[in-house]
Every structure is written in C-alpha cells, then in structure tokens.
Amino acid sequence: MLFSPGWRAASGQGSILAFFTAGLLLGGALSGLAVWLLSGLSEPIPQGGRAAAVAAVAATGVLREFGVLRLSLPQNARQIPLEVLQRRPRLGPMQFGFELGTGVRTYVTSSAPYMAALALLLSHPALAAATAAGLGFGLGRALTAATVLWSRDPEWNARAAARMPLLTRLAVTALAAALLTAAVG
C-alpha cells in the first residue's frame, strides 16, 4: 500500500507521490535503456522479417486483449515487502516506484507494454525512442497513482475499474495500429 489508510489526508502524501513518481520514471528509463541495448541483437534479422514479427506481436496483443487468444503474460508474483515503505518514508516509495517502473517486479495485465517492448526490441530504435517509451510506461503508472490520490470521491476507483477493460482494449488497438503502420512504412 503506497498511501496510508488516511491517504486522502493532505500531510505528506504529495511528497510520497513525488518520490514514487521519481522511482517510476527512473525504473522506466532503465528499462528503456535495457530494451535499446538488447535490440542490437535483432539488427542482423532482415528488415522484412523484423516487420513481420512486429505485425505478429501487434496482432497477438489485440487478440489476447479481446479474449480471442488465451495467453498468460510474464509476471513476478513476489510482493514488494511492506517494510520497504514503512522503514524509509522517502526512499521506500522511490524504491517501490523504481521496481514497478522497470516492469519486472510486478504483474502488468495489459498486453500494451509487452507489445511495445517487443516491437522496440525488434525494430532497433534510437536510444531516445527506447528511453521515451520507458519513461512513458513509468509516467502512465504515476498518473494512475496520482489520480487515486487526487480523487476526493471514494467511489472513483470502482468507476475507473469498470471502464478499464474498454480503455485497455482501445489502447492496445491504437498501439497495434501504430506498430503496423511503422512496420509497413
């Protein structure tokens, strides 16, 4: 739990969010750098083969998101220990954010981050593009935490959760369209 049970209280929650967000962005940037480094391994694959693989990744992601294809996503089922947040009031949320921002210490329910990472691995992007993608992943996670904190409506989470499947499907479809456009172009 990032925020205390009285998380809607004004005291200190903004700074916790700031440290958490900094960790998310650092973790996302590191993941982007790692994807960029590993993408060099795909460079010997002919462009047509890489484009076909990106198209396959895009199609698989959309089919999974709409329930046509049952495919388990990788996950790390270990929880970040509560002591990380309790013992270190500033660095704990940053560490928690960093681990979530890397994407390797969490379960991501949407196909979109996996689609983006695989497409980047296959397309051998510029360092700036891979880093921007990682930062975008961290920022997306930070926005979720921020909206939960800033909402003064206790029912907001339930309403947001009800919309999430539609939003996720739209995001995955838009990402697939962008990946297909890039692969063809």
Residues 23-66: tens digit of each pLDDT: 999 999 999 999 999 999 999 999 999 999 999 999 999 999 99
Lowest mean pLDDT, pick from 7-16, 41-50, 172-181: 7-16
- Domain count for the chain, please give it: 1
Report if residue 176 sits inside a domain. Answer: yes
| Three-class secondary structure of residue 1 per DSSP | coil
157 pLDDT band, cuts 50/70/90, is confident
Report if residue 59 sits inside a domain. Answer: yes
Report if residue 8 sits inside a domain. Answer: no
Average pLDDT, the chain: 86
Report if residue 137 sits inside a domain. Answer: yes
Count of other CB atoms within 10 angstroms of residue 79: 9
pLDDT digits (tens, 9 = 90+) for 105-115: 777 888 999 99
Report if residue 6 sits inside a domain. Answer: no
| Three-class secondary structure of residue 165 per DSSP | helix
Report if residue 112 sits inside a domain. Answer: yes
The reported pLDDT for the residue numbered 107 is 76
Cα–Cα distance, 161 to 142 (Å, whole number)? 16
145-169 average pLDDT score: 83
Report if residue 78 sits inside a domain. Answer: yes
139-164 average pLDDT score: 83
Q: Would you say how long the chain is, in residues?
A: 185
Report if residue 4 sits inside a domain. Answer: no
The reported pLDDT for the residue numbered 131 is 96
Cα–Cα distance, 98 to 25 (Å, whole number)? 7
Answer whether residue 1 shows pLDDT above 50: no
Domain boundaries, position 46: 13-184
The reported pLDDT for the residue numbered 11 is 52
134 pLDDT band, cuts 50/70/90, is very high
Residue 13 is encoded by which pair of tokens?
């929650």
